Every structure is written in structure tokens, then in C-alpha cells.
Amino acid sequence: MSNDILSIGHTANIVREWKNGNKAYYITNRHINYSNICKNRCKFCAFSREKESPDSYEMALDEILEKALAAAEGGATELHIVGGLHPDLPFDFYVKMIREIHESCPDVHIQAFTAIEIEHLSQVARLSVRQTLMALKEAGLGSLPGGGAEVFSPKIREHLCPEKLSGEGWLQVMRDAHTLGLRSNATMLYGHVETPEDRISHLIKLRELQDETGGFLTFIPLAFHPKNTEMSDSSGTTALLDLKVIAISRLMLDNFDHIKAYWIMLGIKLSQVALGFGVDDIDGTVQEEKITHAAGAETPEALSIREIIKLIEEAGREPVERDTLYNPVKRKQRNFMLQQV
């Protein structure tokens, strides 16, 4: 595989410009990680805890709603809600969470529950995946995040996360979501034990499903952070690998409109550089992300709109605030940060 990253990046940047012109998107959003209690023990995860662990937690609905209301009052257009596979919480807890947030914050888009969580909730509720999605959509769910995809290779999943839903299962949950009118993101976790062939196979499967449903909004390559995981002796990713994965993703996923640099994982400076390697989205304010920071991410837990705009403009791009579905958002005031709750 070529290491001529400048040529690969230049070609990817042509595709980016062809699809999105000089625009670089960002969003005013907040993360709510409602619980770190999880029945699975994935080797690459530093976030999950057993229920009996002294540092486990689960938020009450009132606490979740308080965070959602504060985000809405601060100007957020999206809430990103994910957590562990809690062994005891009833399905009604999740439906009530979505319904109460939606009723209290009707103008805020709720992007919640990975495909892994959806499959878990279907087991808890003793419903099909489609029925589970329909119940959540009726309550106010707007779209699904892309987490849990990891790498689709059965061999890799058996080694790293044998209890987790299979790659084909992840794709089927997304297929069901898309056919019900729920859009989603897609991800790939790289930089652990996967091979370049595993990455390419993963991208091909995403491309094939996008051809089928057209339901993916954006692709987000996720750089592995090994600290505090069972794989803490891993060196993680390099800047060269990060930029190569981003650029090749832009070239391969020709039916995806957007490629996102998730600055929480990639780092702020490299995310800015990635805008010249095929990326047209730098994510957003994020606020209070816990999963990657549990694995040693040294990025801040939030960025202000001013900081995001500066990053984009310094890269020679036109900053465009968007909502979850990539509709432009117009504001009178652009310099603010969501309030910590």
C-alpha cells in the first residue's frame, strides 16, 4: 500500500471539493453518556464497567433531562446519546428518556443508541429490531449514531469483542433503521489489530449498504486510543495512518456525501489538517464526551463555536453550521459554548 500520503490526500481533496465545494461543516451538539455499566467486555473499551464497580454510574432520567434542557437553552441542535449495554434497565426507561427529551426540547434532534444498543434493547423488550426502532422513533428518536461497527471482520471481532453483535448484525440494524426513515452515521475503529485488507473490506460493506438504502449521513473513521484498555500496550495510530485512512475512505465511499474528522479522537490540530485530505466535517462543540476520554484522549471535552470557526477558516475553508441532517443553521451570535451541567 502506498505511503505517498500527499498524492492520496490531494486526490481525496478533489473528491471533497467536487461533493461539498469549499464548505466545512460543524454542529452545536452535546453528548450524554447515560451509563457506563455494560454487560460486554470489549478489549478496546476503557469506558465500560460492571454494575458493582466503584466507578460505575447510571444517570437518572431527571439528570439526563436537565442536561438536555441546558443544551437546548444554550443553542444545541443535536443531542448525541449513547451508553453501555445495561443488564437491568427496562426498555421503558429508554423510551421514556427519548419521549421526555423530545417533548421538552422539540427543536433539538435526538441522535441516540448505536446499532449494538438497539439490538440489546430489542432483547430487553422482547421485540424485533424493527419494532424496537419503531417504538423509539415514535417517542422522538431522530437518527442513529454510527458506533459499534468497529471492524466488520469476524476474526477481528472474535478476538476483540466476541460478545458483541456481529458485523453483519450491525449492518442489518442499520438497514432496518434506514428503511424506517431513520438516517444514521457509519464508523470504523482502526489502529488496533486489523489489517489494511480488513479496513478495505469494511469500507466495501458500508458502500454496498449505502448503495442499497442511501441512509448513511456521514462516515467517521475512529482512531483507536489504547490507554486504560486491555490493549494498553498498543501504540495506537500515527498521523500518517490517520490521514491515509481518512483520504482512502473519501476515495472509496463515493456514495457518502460527508467524511468527518472526529476531533475528540483525532486531535484538534490533525483534524484541521484533515480538512485538506478529504474531510468536510469537523464535528462540533461535543461537550462532555466520556468514552474516548476514558481511553486517555487529551483533547478538551468541548470546543466553542469561535474555536471551531477559527480552525476551519485557518484551513482555508468556509465554516457552515449544520444540523444533524446537514441543513444549514443560521445564527445571530456565533461565539458561545454550551453550559456545563
- Residues forming the annotated binding site? 38, 42, 44-45, 150
Helix (H) or strand (E) holding 282, with range, is strand 281-284
- Rounded to whole angstroms, how far apart are CA atoms 317 and 326? 17
Residue 292 cell numbers, joined:
474516548
Instruction: Quote the pLDDT of residue 297.
Output: 43
The topology (CATH level 3) of 5-321 is TIM Barrel (3.20.20)
Which residues are within 8 A (CB) of 92 and not within 5 positions of it... i.e. 6 or more apart?
A: none
Which of 143, 80, 148, 106 has its CA nearest to residue 286? 80
Alpha carbon of 87 to those of 28, 38, 111, 261: distances in Å? 32, 7, 22, 33
C-alpha cell at 22: 469549499
Read off the DSSP letter of residue 231.
T
Cell numbers found for residue 226:
489504547
Three cell numbers, residue 53: 464497580
pLDDT in tens, 20-70: 999 999 999 999 999 999 999 998 888 889 998 999 999 999 999 999 999
Nearest Cα neighbor of 5 from 277, 316, 215, 222 is: 277
Distance CA 154, CA 222 (A): 19
Q: What is the pLDDT of residue 233?
A: 80
Residue 288's pLDDT is 56
Nearest Cα neighbor of 80 from 71, 88, 89 is 71
Tens digits of per-residue pLDDT, 111-125? 999 999 999 999 999
Q: What is the reported pLDDT for 279?
A: 98
Of the pLDDT bands very low, low, confident and very high (cuts 50, 70, 90), residue 236 is confident
Q: What is the pLDDT of residues 278-297, one digit of tens each?
A: 999 998 887 654 454 454 44
- Cα 120 to Cα 59, 95, 111: the distances in Å are 18, 14, 17
Read off φ and ψ for residue 100, nearest 5 degrees: -70, -40
Closest residue by Cα to residue 219 from 313, 147, 152: 147
- Structure confidence at residue 316 (pLDDT): 95
Do residues 126 and 159 touch, judged by C-beta distance below 8 A?
no
Q: What residues contact residue 39 under an 8 Å CB cut-off, 6+ apart? A: 84, 85, 86, 87, 163
* Residue boundaries of the structural domains of the chain: 5-321
C-alpha cell at 212: 442499497
pLDDT exceeds 90 at position 135: yes
State the binding site for [4Fe-4S] cluster. 38, 42, 45
Rounded Cα–Cα distance for residues 278 and 250 (Å): 6
For the annotated binding site for S-adenosyl-L-methionine, the residues are 44, 150
